[in-house]
């Protein structure tokens, strides 16, 4: 065949491929809010002891019922069809394999149950009136450890049951409170403490192994289960709070106690920061745990520590690793530890040698929940991205090569209907010449066909020590904003994690200084792109992101960027009033270097409410009544200030939600209201 003929054929084939691709692209549609609420939520993979099967859970939102149902599934590690283990109206969660692989413990109705690996022979193991949670098997298979919230002065379950019945039946619902941290997240503590119990794996009476007036485990600062059995099943390591006033301290410590009962011994008393997530090495020599060296700072670098049970000495395994150590696990031989850590909006998997601390990055992506098979080489883990919700993957050798294989495809067929947009890395120069990174999600082609330039929505993350990642999200999902015709910009400014600890630390005491410059410089750069209409820019954020929106509201005078509409969700507004009603007081005391009466200048300098005379930008305020982190008064104050100055504003109030809007119908209302606000003012 002549060269010209070959060229014509190749060109024809190429045109056909392009035409087919274009047709496939046209067939897809932008994702709507109702579409997002139908996405199934995969999580909590647990590898069987023989390494052949993965038990996991899938949550299915039910918009009509305004709730989600969760059930358990099995999928072979070698690949194959997933099998559903549980069903019915009641949710089943938290699958945990017995050491012999014959049974799976799980949660249903607030109690621990077990079943065989086919989903049959279901038995109820606990019947404790205060409920059970987070089961952990002992290595010999005889015991299950779990947590329950009890009255510390009650000696048995009958006492707890009587006290709860008295509270429930009383016509008086007043609460008498005599200590701080009297409520947390979305609930009042009501004088209860979290304790660790053990119960026979065959059922029976549960026994409290951490008695006393403290929480064991304590409130979580993030991380894995805060208790673990020793390999010989004779000892239990657990985290507990050690300060008298928990509201002003992050000082949690690791203790060990005999499973048979006895006095607990503290092994981390020298550290004033948080110590948690204990895990024994397979040979029992070490207890690994995560630790923060800085007292009172919940976002200090999470270090990986090793406590030698023989020498009673502790060492840091990765002293030069300038990032958080997140979830971790030992290899079966105990010689290595796999873990995940944030890095520039992703979460790679790493492995470190226990003997010498030699570190290796295994693979990139946004990964979590790493489990190691008995061969020490095969990994099972979860992964997501901006265009794929969480699924379960395998990593091992195939044909002499390292291979990553997707095991579950829970949402693949459903998501094939939508024109999802990959998040693009963007970088710009922030305050002081520092390079800053973030993400950009563009509208799909169907939205782009109508106009060459689109309004811009800037999403500002919370924390402030947090980050936007190349991962899937059900709250603040950028695909929903992009599908509505917006270019979505998600900056990771000063304070963000995954860019070194100094970058994270730079926001403390400087809440609207360098971080404000970082964000505005990024917005100015993105707004200069040819597909962005710089005259139509909006911003939205929650928690600290809401705070920054409130700050922008009083400082919307940047020479290059003018916001036309704002959305503040659960945003800090008045730093002084916020201090008096939030529960975790260590947070404002660290961020603003003391209390409002010890350091009033810093509170005043960065409080958005003091700049209310400048408020002019149309603002939507959203907040939940059950938000004890940023209590509802912050949102009410902001709305009052806006209304008093005749600024176009609206309040969306949820009496049944906390810091996050979670119920399906509430989530739909939130998304629709937010998009409606932007559509009104930016389109």
- Residue 337 and residue 304: Cα distance in Å, rounded? 10
- Residue 113 and residue 107: Cα distance in Å, rounded? 6
Q: How far is CA 360 from the centre of its chain?
A: 25
Residue 268's nearest CA partner among 242, 247, 249 is 242
* 3 state DSSP class of 526: helix
Q: Give the residue-averaged pLDDT of 672-682.
A: 98
- Residue 278 and residue 282: Cα distance in Å, rounded? 13
Q: Give the residue-averaged pLDDT of 63-70.
A: 96
- Residue 622 and residue 673: Cα distance in Å, rounded? 9
With contact defined as beta carbons under 8 Å apart, do 662 and 632 qualify? no
Residue 470's nearest CA partner among 501, 425, 429 is 425
Q: Give the residue-averaged pLDDT of 296-300.
A: 96
pLDDT digits (tens, 9 = 90+) for 332-347: 999 999 999 999 999 9
More confident residue, 185 or 148: 148
| Mean pLDDT of all residues belonging to the chain | 94
- Residue 468 and residue 674: Cα distance in Å, rounded? 19
Which residues on adjacent β-strands are paired with residue 257?
236
The Cα-based distances of 393 to 47, 369, 414, 631 in angstroms read: 12, 10, 19, 39
Minimum mean pLDDT range among 13-22, 141-150, 464-473: 13-22
With contact defined as beta carbons under 8 Å apart, do 180 and 595 qualify? no
Domain boundaries, the chain: 31-124, 134-147+176-283+295-303, 419-682
Alpha carbons within 13 angstroms on the beta-carbon side of residue 603 total: 19
pLDDT digits (tens, 9 = 90+) for 4-61: 333 333 333 343 334 444 444 457 999 999 999 999 999 999 999 999 999 999 999 9
Residue 341's nearest CA partner among 321, 317, 358, 356 is 321
498: Cβ contacts below 8 Å, ≥ 6 apart: 323, 324, 341, 342, 343, 344, 345, 346, 467, 469, 492
Residue 476 backbone dihedrals phi, psi, to 5 degrees: 60, 40
Choices 1.10.3720.10, 1.20.1080.10, 3.40.50.1820, 3.40.47.10: CATH for 419-682: 3.40.50.1820
Residue 435 backbone dihedrals phi, psi, to 5 degrees: -75, 135
Whether 219 shows a pLDDT value over 80: the answer reads no
Residue 594's nearest CA partner among 509, 511, 513 is 509
Q: In what order do the strands lie in the sheet with 41-47?
A: 41-47, 53-62, 67-76, 83-84
Please tell me the predicted confidence (pLDDT) of residue 222: 64
Please tell me the predicted confidence (pLDDT) of residue 264: 97
Report the percent of the chain where pLDDT is more than 90.
92
Q: Give the residue-averaged pLDDT of 609-635.
A: 98
SS (H, E, C) 23-63: HHHHHCECCCHHHHCCCCEEEEEEECCCCCEEEEEEEEEEC
Q: Give the residue-averaged pLDDT of 259-271.
A: 94
With contact defined as beta carbons under 8 Å apart, do 630 and 572 qualify? yes
- Residue 446 and residue 417: Cα distance in Å, rounded? 13
Report the percent of the chain where pLDDT is more than 70.
94
80: Cβ contacts below 8 Å, ≥ 6 apart: none
SS (H, E, C) 87-121: CCCCCEEEEEECCCCCEEEEEECCEEEEEECCCCC
- Residue 170 and residue 572: Cα distance in Å, rounded? 36
Please tell me the predicted confidence (pLDDT) of residue 446: 61
Please tell me the predicted confidence (pLDDT) of residue 338: 98
Q: Give the residue-averaged pLDDT of 531-541.
A: 97
Quick one: pLDDT band at residue 448, thresholds 50, 70, 90? Answer: low
What is the pTM for the complete model shown? 0.94
Please tell me the predicted confidence (pLDDT) of residue 518: 98
Q: What is the DSSP code string of 116-171?
A: ETTS-S-EE----TT--EEEEE-TTSSEEEEEEEEETT-SSHHHHHHHHHHHHH-S
Q: Give the residue-averaged pLDDT of 116-130.
A: 96
Q: Give the residue-averaged pLDDT of 563-569.
A: 98
- Residue 95 and residue 90: Cα distance in Å, rounded? 15
* Domain boundaries 134-147+176-283+295-303, corresponding CATH code: 2.130.10.120
SS (H, E, C) 196-213: EEEEECCCCCCEECCCCC
């Amino acid at each position: 065949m002549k060269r010209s003929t070959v060229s014509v054929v190749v060109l024809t084939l190429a045109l056909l491929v392009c035409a087919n691709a274009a047709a496939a692209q046209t067939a897809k549609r932008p994702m709507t809010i109702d579409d997002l609420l139908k996405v199934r939520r995969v999580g909590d993979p647990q590898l069987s002891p023989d390494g052949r099967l993965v038990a996991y859970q899938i949550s299915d939102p039910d918009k009509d019922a305004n709730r989600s149902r969760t059930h358990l599934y099995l999928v072979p590690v070698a690949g194959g069809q997933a099998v559903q283990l549980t069903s019915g109206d009641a949710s089943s969660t938290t699958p945990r394999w017995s050491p012999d692989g014959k049974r799976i413990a799980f949660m249903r109705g607030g109690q621990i149950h077990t079943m065989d690996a086919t989903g049959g022979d279901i038995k109820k193991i606990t019947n404790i009136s205060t409920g059970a949670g987070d089961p952990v098997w002992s290595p010999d298979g005889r015991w299950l450890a779990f947590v329950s919230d009890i009255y510390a002065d009650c000696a048995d379950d009958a006492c707890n049951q009587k006290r709860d019945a008295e509270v429930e039946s009383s016509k008086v619902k007043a609460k008498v409170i005599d200590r701080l941290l009297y409520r947390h997240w979305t609930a009042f503590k009501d004088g209860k403490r979290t304790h660790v119990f053990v119960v026979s794996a065959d059922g029976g009476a549960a026994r409290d192994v951490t008695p006393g007036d403290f929480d064991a485990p304590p409130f979580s600062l993030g991380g894995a289960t805060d208790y673990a059995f020793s390999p010989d099943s004779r000892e239990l390591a657990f985290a507990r709070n050690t300060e008298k006033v928990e509201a002003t301290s992050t000082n949690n410590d690791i203790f060990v106690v005999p499973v048979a009962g006895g006095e607990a011994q503290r092994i981390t008393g020298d550290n004033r920061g948080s110590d948690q997530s204990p895990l024994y090495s397979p040979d029992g020599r070490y207890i690994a745990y995560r630790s923060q060296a800085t007292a009172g700072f919940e976002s200090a670098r999470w270090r990986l520590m090793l406590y030698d049970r023989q020498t009673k000495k502790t060492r840091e395994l990765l002293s030069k690793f300038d990032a958080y150590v997140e979830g971790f696990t030992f290899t079966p031989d105990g010689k290595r530890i796999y873990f995940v850590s944030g890095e520039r909006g992703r979460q790679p998997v790493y492995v470190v040698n226990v003997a010498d601390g030699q570190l290796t990055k295994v693979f990139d992506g946004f990964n979590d929940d790493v489990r190691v098979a008995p061969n020490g080489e095969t990994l099972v883990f979860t992964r997501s991205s901006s265009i794929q919700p969480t699924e379960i993957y395998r990593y091992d050798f195939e044909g002499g090569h390292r291979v990553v294989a997707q095991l579950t495809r829970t949402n693949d067929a459903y998501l094939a209907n939508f024109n999802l947009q990959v998040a693009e890395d963007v970088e710009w120069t922030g305050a002081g010449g520092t390079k800053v990174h973030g993400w950009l999600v563009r509208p799909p082609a169907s939205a782009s066909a109508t106009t060459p330039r689109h309004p811009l929505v800037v999403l500002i993350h919370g924390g402030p020590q947090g980050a936007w990642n190349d991962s899937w999200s059900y709250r603040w999902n950028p695909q929903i904003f992009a599908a509505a015709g917006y270019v979505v910009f998600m900056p990771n400014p000063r304070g963000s994690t995954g860019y070194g600890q100094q970058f994270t630390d730079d926001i403390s005491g400087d809440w609207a200084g360098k971080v404000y410059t970082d964000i505005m410089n990024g917005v100015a750069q993105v707004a200069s792109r040819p597909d962005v209409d710089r005259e139509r820019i909006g911003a939205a954020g929650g928690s600290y992101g809401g705070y920054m929106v409130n700050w922008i509201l009083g400082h919307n005078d940047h020479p290059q960027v003018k916001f036309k509409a704002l959305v503040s969700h659960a945003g800090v507004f008045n730093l002084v009033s916020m201090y008096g009603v939030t529960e975790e007081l260590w947070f404002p005391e660290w961020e603003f270097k003391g209390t409002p009466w010890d350091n009033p200048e810093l509170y005043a300098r960065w409080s958005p409410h003091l700049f209310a005379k400048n408020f002019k930008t149309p603002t939507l305020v959203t907040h939940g009544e059950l938000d004890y982190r940023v209590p509802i008064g912050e949102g009410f104050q902001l709305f009052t200030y806006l209304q008093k100055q005749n600024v176009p504003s609206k309040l969306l109030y949820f009496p049944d939600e906390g810091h996050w809007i979670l119920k399906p119908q509430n989530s739909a209302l939130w998304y629709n209201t937010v998009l409606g606000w932007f559509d009104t003012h930016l389109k």
